[in-house]
Amino acid sequence: MELKIRKLEGDEMGFTLSDSNPAFANALRRAAMREVPVMAIDEVEFEVNDSAMYDEILAHRLALIPLSTPAKGYVLPGECGCREGRCPKCSVSLTLKREGPATALSGDLKSTDEEVVPVSGSIPIIKLERGQRLELTAIARLGFGKEHAKWQPGVVAYKYMPVFELNEKACDGCGACVKACPVNIIKLSKGKPKISDITLCTMCKGCAEACPPKAIRIGSDPTKFIFRIDSAGGMPAEQILLKAMGVLKGKLDEFSKQVKKL
Amino acid sequence: MRVIRCITCGKLLGDKYEEFEQRVKKGEEPKRVLDELGIKRYCCRSTVLTSIDLTEEIAKFKR
């Protein structure tokens, strides 16, 4: 199995996984999206809410604000000795105080830990009219994406590596495939189509259908995968991948331990 | 208020509406603004293009 990073820019990451199989690719994707814990607001106590929205709706909006999550330092509420999920080891408290006319923004949330803050300060929570007040305390905890989407660290997606097969003898170099390609990755070189970057291929088979002598076949390689990780912002994309691998390894270790017991 | 994350994929959109709205009002093409804001997937693009802010309408009434 081989992993090659194609792109790594802040919240986005692209890599190819080769010499693998669909089961492993899917296990990796699921581990990354469902089992990598990140911080999200889990409980909100309202002191004052004069706004146009109900407490529940505001709590829901607050929960969806992505929070930056340090790689270490916090434990899951279930694994913490405090049992209540309110101690500084497993929770962070964020307070908000705002009076209208104003828009309460995510940047108005004051956190007890400067490492756990909203990834963007300009997310509007609620618009307050004159005289309306909003005062609340929110408690953020670690959690899993399998429990609620607010705890998903990001979006992980993969596709099979496309394969462009050309019957050199049948190809007459007419260039119909070049025009048919919606992502413009086919170029004619010495009268034959050449692919510039096969990872961009969407497997639409437009080139195969447009080819008059039917010289092109589009297939896929089920041992190679093109992955993309798009972080929600709370955790860098490469860290999501590393943590997902750790989760997967832990599960496999546990599995082999259980099998040995049999 | 507008959604904070994309309804389909969960990408953060809440902090991008204001810029999008202002730039489109000034006459820029929505496609270009979406591209420059880094909104790539069509789920996020349709969410930004089609959502309407009704807070001011709701605020007239009692909760």
What pLDDT is stored for residue B20 in this prediction? Answer: 93
What is the C-alpha to C-alpha distance for residues A241 and A227, in angstroms, rounded to an integer?
11
pTM for this prediction: 0.87
Is ipTM beyond 0.95? Answer: no
Looking at residue A45, the DSSP 8-state letter turns out to be E
| Nearest chain B CA: its distance from A74 CA (Å) | 24
AA identity, residue B57 = E
The sign one gets for the Cα dihedral A163, A164, A168, A171 is positive
The sign one gets for the Cα dihedral A42, A246, A11, A160 is negative
The tens digit of pLDDT for each residue in B13-41 reads 999 999 999 999 999 999 999 999 999 99
The tens digit of pLDDT for each residue in A61-95 reads 999 999 999 988 899 988 888 878 889 899 999 99
Q: Choose among A52, A64, A127: nearest Cβ to B4.
A: A64
Rounded to 5°, the CA angle A76-A79-A83 comes to: 100
What is the C-alpha to C-alpha distance for residues B36 and B54, in angstroms, rounded to an integer?
26
Looking at residue B63, the DSSP 8-state letter turns out to be -
pLDDT band at A206 (very low <50, low <70, confident <90, very high): very high
Taking a C-beta distance cutoff of 8 angstroms, is the pair B13, B6 a contact?
A: yes
Q: What is the greatest pairwise CA distance in chain B? A: 40
Q: Choose among B9, B59, B61: nearest Cβ to A155.
A: B9
Q: Is the pLDDT of residue A100 over 80?
A: no
Report the pLDDT averaged over residues A225-253: 94
- Rg, chain A, Cα only: 25
Contact criterion met (CB < 8 Å) for A124 and B11: no
